[in-house]
Chain A
Amino acid sequence: MYWCFASKETILCFFTLILIDVSHPDWSKINKHIFILSEAGKPIYSRYGNEEKLVTIMGVMQALVSFVQDSDDTLQSLVAGNRKYVFLVKGPLILVAVSSLEDSVPQLQLQLTYVYHQILSVLTGAQLEKIFEQLRNYDLRKLLGGTEKFLHNLLDMMDRDPSFFLESVQCLPIPVHYRDSIASSLQHAKTKSLVFAILITENQLITLVRPKKYNLHPADLHLIINLVNASTSFQSCESWLPICLPKFNDSGYLHAHISYLSEECPACLVLLSTDKDAFYELAESREKIIKRLTVKSNCIPVISEAITTNKYGLDYIIGSEIWHFLYKSKTYGQFVSPKCRPPYNTVEEQTRLQELYKYLHHRMHASAKPLKLVYRLRSQEALLGWISETFELYAVFNPLVSKTVAIGNVKRLMAIIKQEEDKLFIVNARTF
């Protein structure tokens, strides 16, 4: 039994907490919960468990948040042992993360912001505000129907993919002349209402063409990648759907034409327009692009090969000493990282690898001025982080390796990256 504080009249009342789902034996074993509820406490989403059954616990979350708001303050986080509880209020929504992983509080806040953006991408900010203004008790699940899988996928991606906490994008390594060919094919397909032309694979950017005066923020690009990744229904047809990109414009929709280059090629072409009737125009653009790619440069098999084998990537650097790394170029706003190999080739190990990176990233950025270098020897691995004005490097080593060998490996890696720069990153941004 405990307290409930309902309102400004300071009426204190009791209610007995009847825990249904929460009493399930596996509840404490879950290492990251995400909850979304409305300001009125109505359940909208829960990563695990049926949100219907979590009405009471969500009511508690809402009560805690509003109680602190009553004192003209904002609840941010709780720490209990190795568990962190992070609260974020955005618009009419309350988002809560409960994590026993290594994510720091700022990292969890960023993840919740992404979750919020995902909801915005379906509804737009303006619509969301309006709905709750009109009806405080509205059940948002009605409008989110069918899009839970995007939230699920986004959350899974955030546990296994560093692009989120790095706030950066990973490119598919491919020789620069192919990339230029692809980009110029996209450029030539420009029509009146085409705003962005993007070619992506599972979680990497191949190339992007944008208008001169607009940039596509990495956070928006992550939402698009999540959209394509989370659904298999884009594969056999051309799709047309509205999407709101919060960083670009949070109160309106862009319209996306989504299709794959071919049956055999896992690259997905996303054409964005401001005009909701522009489907046939963009379908034609698509035809043009594919024609150019096939006839002029025969890029498509190259793209497929690059995706499936990561032929031009830096996988060969990994060995018995350096087990994995992330290199972010601050100049280009992109990062590169090898495909996972043993010991990081299972889902559990990949999640743990990301935890190591998140720890290192947080440790270096926790103070107002980042640390320049960190070497951290733990029982299962040694971590090395290096931040300069132009790059950030995070590397994982065999713990038995000496510091001299580790530094040697890092220097070799940096030299290779410099050499292969034009394959690993998009160095020339193309515009219409």
Chain B
Amino acid sequence: MTEKSPSTLINFFIFNTTLGQEEGTEHEKILFYYPDADNIDKQSRSVGLSEAIVHFCGTFAPDRPCEVVQTLKSRQVFYQPEENFWMIMALTNKDGNNIVYHQDEVQDQALQSILMLSYKIFRLFNGPFSMTFNESVDSCRELLKHFFTRFIKSIKLAQQDLQDVLQGIRFLPLGKQQFLKVQQFINLIEANFSNITYAQLLFDDQLIWSSLDLDHTQILYGYLTTNLLPNHQEAEVASSLDPNMNRYCLFEPLCTVTNYLFITGPTELGHAASIGKIPRIFINKNGKWEIFAVIVYKVLVDVYIDYYYYNLTSTIDFFRKLDKFIGPQIKQLTFDIAEQNIINRRLSLTEMQYRFIYFNHMNCAFKSSIYPKINQPAIIGPDLMRLFCDIHAEFDKSKSNEEFLAKTATDCWVVGKIADQRELFVAQNLKNGSLLDINDEMKKLVGSLFGNIFYFNS
């Protein structure tokens, strides 16, 4: 196989179709454009072509917006997050090869997920586009520039895969007793502190509890585990090594290593001035967007509780009170959770024999043996990952109970199954195995790991 140069980003832009409708003002449609080195003419041309394509597709099927445009030298993905707003990203094709489908190229849905995720995170911190847009178009442009310029730097094109499409949540399953204890604890906090509305409890990168709905949980979990917490951890390490290290992250809390700690909030409970910047997020409560502040409280090295509260002014008193209340209560709970985690770790050794991804649409539960750590690339060949993504896209369309088993040219078996909104993808090498052999293997796997959820057809 010939070596190919990686795809690179050509442009990324956002425009609104209600602006710049008169001749000569088309460039006004543009709300954000990268790279800004492109002159205004070139920008207008890109936006013009995209809008024309959107209209063209609309004449055949008004309800199905354009998603992907493929040319000889590039690929563009389209996303319409809100009415009249369009986000578009273009990449080069490797080598300008004439092959439309390439086994190791990033799949279309995986690329679209970049747009969707970036929008969701933007919306988390700034509310929907229309909110700022309706107040002032210029401030909307400012906000978009501020956010997306930094976001674009973090895009890792080659690494986009099924995990990004699914946006799953790794759960830490607890025993019934412990789970009830956690629930009690959280309820107690919410009862005692009236302005704390929601809470989430995480252990390392696994979610234990969330009082938010699924959509918000999903996006917050994603943001916390891929951005805030890793950056904090890196900062912890880095600050002891090199305080001048330059890193991208949305919020830069300074910290020292202690057992209990406000990651967002005061770094030292004694000093009001150390409160620092508390992130604000937008949560859609019953159709209305409200602003909440996020306090991330770290217990031990790996346990984090996040509180979302409504009151925008926070005093050091409040934090002290919170710390005092939680401190003692959390200790026992934390040990229980940590113990459970160790038990779970042992169980997962059996899982490690297989390379799989499991996802449950109903609660976004995600389980996999091919990602050593969240945010790290999968340890599976790109051609196999591509096949996983393609099969997932097919399952997405049909939504009934289906199966897919294939033997690749390299004699590796790839299996996909969807049943009752749960999906499982497995890659397995089986020397000289036949269809019936792999079928038996699957039955074994499913029996041992997902016994009470799945069954595999004969």
Residues in A lying within 8 Å of B, measured CB to CB? 1-5, 10, 12-14, 17, 19, 22, 27-28, 33, 57, 60-61, 63-64, 67-68, 72-83, 85, 98, 100, 104-106, 109, 363, 366-379, 402-404, 407
Whether a CB of chain A sits under 8 angstroms from the CB of B342 is no
Asked if B56 contacts A60 (CB within 8 A), the reply is yes
B435 engages A60 (CB within 8 Å): no
A-side contacts of B390, CB under 8 Å: 363, 366
Q: How far is the CB of A309 from chain B (nearest CB, A)?
A: 35
CB of B16 to closest CB in A, whole Å? 14
A100 to B52, CA, bound (A): 20
A68–B67 CB distance below 8 A: no
Name the one of A80, A367, A402 contacting B67, with C-beta atoms under 8 angstroms: A80
- Given A5-B48, A22-B59, A105-B70, CB of A374 within 8 Å of CB of B457: no
Cα A109 to Cα B72 in complex, Å, equals: 13
Closest 4 CB pairs of A and B: A81-B64, A367-B103, A369-B409, A377-B403
Shortest CB–CB separation between residue B320 and chain A, in angstroms? 55
Asked whether, in the complex, the Cβ of A5 is within 8 Å of the Cβ of B64, the reply is: no
Cβ–Cβ < 8 Å partners of B84 in chain A: none
- A105 and B398 form a contact (CB under 8 A): no
Q: Which of A72, A75, A366 contacts B101 (CB 8 A)?
A: A366
As a 0/1 sequence over residues 110 to 130 of chain B, the CB contacts with chain A under 8 angstroms (1 = contact) are: 000000000000000000000
Q: Which residues of B contact A4 (CB under 8 A)?
A: 52
Q: Please state if A77 and B100 are interface contacts (CB–CB under 8 Å).
A: yes
Say which residue of A27, A78, A375 sits within 8 Å of B406 (CB atoms).
Answer: A375
Q: Is B135 an interface residue (CB 8 A)?
A: no
| Nearest CB in chain A: distance from B211 CB, A | 35
Q: A64-B49, A73-B74, A79-B67 are in contact. Are A12 and B405 (CB under 8 A)?
A: no
B65 CB–A CB distance under 8 Å: yes
Q: Are B69 and A78 in contact (CB under 8 A)?
A: yes
Tell me if B436 and A378 are in contact (CB < 8 A).
no
Some 27 contacts from A to B, beta carbons below 8 A apart, are: A1-B21, A12-B23, A12-B48, A19-B59, A67-B45, A68-B49, A73-B71, A73-B74, A75-B69, A78-B68, A80-B57, A80-B65, A106-B100, A367-B102, A368-B1, A368-B99, A372-B408, A373-B405, A374-B404, A374-B405, A375-B406, A376-B402, A378-B400, A378-B402, A402-B457, A403-B436, A404-B458
B41, B62, B101, B457: the one within 8 Å of A106 (CB): B101
Residue contact B45 to A5, C-beta cutoff 8 Å: yes
A81-B67 in contact (CB<8A): yes
Known interface pairs A5-B45, A57-B59, A106-B101; A404-B436 also in contact (CB < 8 Å): yes
- Residues in A whose Cβ lies below 8 Å from that of B64: 80-83
**Beta-carbon nearest neighbor of A109 in chain B:** B100
**Distance from A5 Cβ to chain B, minimum over Cβ atoms (Å):** 6
With a cutoff of 8 Å between Cβ atoms, the chain A residues found around residue B60 in the complex are 22, 27-28, 33, 80, 83, 85, 98
The distance in angstroms between the C-alpha atoms of A215 and B402, with both chains bound, is 44
| Pick from A67, A74, A376, A404: contact of B403, CB under 8 Å | A376
Contact residues of B with A, CB < 8 Å? Answer: 1, 21, 23-24, 26, 41, 44-45, 48-49, 51-53, 55-57, 59-74, 99-103, 108, 383, 386-387, 390, 397-398, 400-411, 434-436, 439, 457-458
* A75 contact set on B, CB distance < 8 A: 69, 71
Is A12's CB under 8 angstroms from B44's CB? Answer: yes
Q: Given A5-B52, A80-B67, A81-B64, output 16 extra A-B contacts at Cβ < 8 Å.
A: A1-B21, A3-B26, A27-B60, A73-B71, A76-B70, A78-B57, A78-B66, A80-B66, A367-B408, A369-B408, A370-B409, A371-B406, A374-B407, A378-B402, A379-B400, A403-B435
Assess the A5–B49 pair: CB atoms within 8 A: yes
The reply to whether A60 and B52 contact each other, CB–CB distance below 8 Å, is yes
CB distance from B390 to the nearest CB of A (A): 7
Question: A79 CA to B53 CA in the complex, in Å?
Answer: 11
Residues A10 and B41 in contact, CB atoms below 8 Å apart? yes
Contacts of A373 in B (CB 8 A): 405-407, 435
Closest chain-A Cβ to B392's Cβ sits at a distance in Å of 13
Partner pick for A64 among B23, B53, B402, CB 8 A cutoff: B53
Q: Which of B41, B103, B406 has the most CB of A within 10 A?
A: B406
Closest CB in chain A relative to B24 CB, distance in Å: 8
Complex: A208 Cα to B64 Cα, angstroms: 48
Which chain B residues border A13 with CB–CB below 8 Å?
A: 23
Q: Is the CB of B408 within 8 A of A371?
A: yes
- The residue among A2, A19, A104, A363 with the most chain B CB atoms within 10 A of its own CB is A2
- Check B52 against A375 for contact (C-beta < 8 Å): no
Tell me if A67 and B41 are in contact (CB < 8 A): no
Among A14, A28, A369, which residue has its beta carbon within 8 angstroms of that of B23?
A14
A contact residues around B457 at 8 Å (CB): 377, 402-403
> How many angstroms between the C-alpha atoms of A363 and B394 in the bound complex?
11
Closest-CB distance, A4 to chain B (whole angstroms): 8
Shortest beta-carbon distance from A402 to chain B in Å: 4
Residues of B within 8 A of A402 (CB): 457-458
CA distance A407 to B439 in the complex (A): 12
Q: Which residues of A have CB within 8 Å of B21?
A: 1
| The residue from B71, B402, B410 contacting A377, defined by CB atoms under 8 A apart | B402
CB distance from A74 to the nearest CB of B (A): 4
- Bound-state CA distance A83–B57 (Å) is 9
Known: A5-B48, A63-B52, A375-B404. A68 touches B57 (CB 8 A): no
Question: Nearest chain-A residue to B101 (Cβ)?
Answer: A366
Q: Which residue of B lies closest to A364 (CB)?
A: B406
Whole-angstrom CA separation of A2 from B303 in the bound complex: 53
- Pair A2/B52 contact, Cβ less than 8 Å: yes
Q: What residues of chain B lie closer than 8 Å to A407, measured between beta carbons?
A: 434-436
Chain A nearest CB from B445 CB (Å) reads 16
Q: Name the residue on A nearest B58 (C-beta).
A: A80
Report yes or no: B403 in contact with A375, Cβ–Cβ below 8 A. yes
Residues of chain A within 8 A of B23, CB atoms compared? 12-14
Nearest CB in chain A to that of B413: its residue: A373
